[in-house]
Structure 1
Amino acid sequence: MKQPDLSDLAVPGTTLAVRVTPRASRNAVIRDGDSLRVTVTTVPEGGKANAAVIKLLAKALGLPKSRLELVRGETARDKLFRIAD
């Protein structure tokens, strides 16, 4: 499955609400209207799933991973990311 192009969202200061599904059958970023869903194959232990989500989102946004900040939801399925300046 081809990852969506989210470069239109890659504006500094933008916040992205993301619904995460760990232990999925494949890694994917799904754009559903205004919402984003990310599925990752990794387990939610020790921040492994968060790291996988950041890697996938950064690639889809065309940004380095260091520009994505997890603002809220470190242990929740619903997360809020901010694009750093």
Structure 2
Amino acid sequence: MAPRSSRDAILGVHDGAMKVALTAPPVEGEANAALVALLAKKLGVAKRDVVLLRGETSRAKRVEVRGVAADAVRALVP
């Protein structure tokens, strides 16, 4: 995850993980909230269906998206 970017975007895959750029700063959970909002919007699910499982204070995060197949998530990556 790359906070403080010029736009919110999914950039690709790096070291086996999805790389995401966010405009929100990594302060008080703002970047985490922006990540959840971006994934929910791109996958067409409610924000409550995107759950941060691990990495709340780290750049590396593990996220669960309820009700979405892994193939749909992989399709987001350019």
TM-score range, shorter chain: 0.7 to 0.9
More helix by share: 2
Higher relative contact order (CA 8 A, sep 6+): 1
More strand by share: 1
Question: How far apart are residue 31 of structure 1 and its match?
Answer: 3.3
- Structure 2 residue runs of 5 or longer lacking an equivalent are 68-78
Q: Distance in 2 between matches of 1:83 and 1:42?
A: 21
Q: Please tell me whether residue 61 in structure 1 is matched to residue 43 in structure 2.
A: yes
Q: Distance in 2 between matches of 1:51 and 1:44?
A: 10
What is the aligned-residue identity percentage? 41
Query: How many pairs does the alignment contain?
Result: 66
Cα RMSD over matched residues? 1.7
> Scaled by the length of structure 2, what TM-score is found?
0.74
> Scaled by the length of structure 1, what TM-score is found?
0.69
Which residue number corresponds to residue 22 of structure 1?
A: 3
- Structure 1 residue runs of 5 or longer lacking an equivalent are 1-19
Q: Please tell me whether residue 43 in structure 1 is matched to residue 25 in structure 2.
A: yes
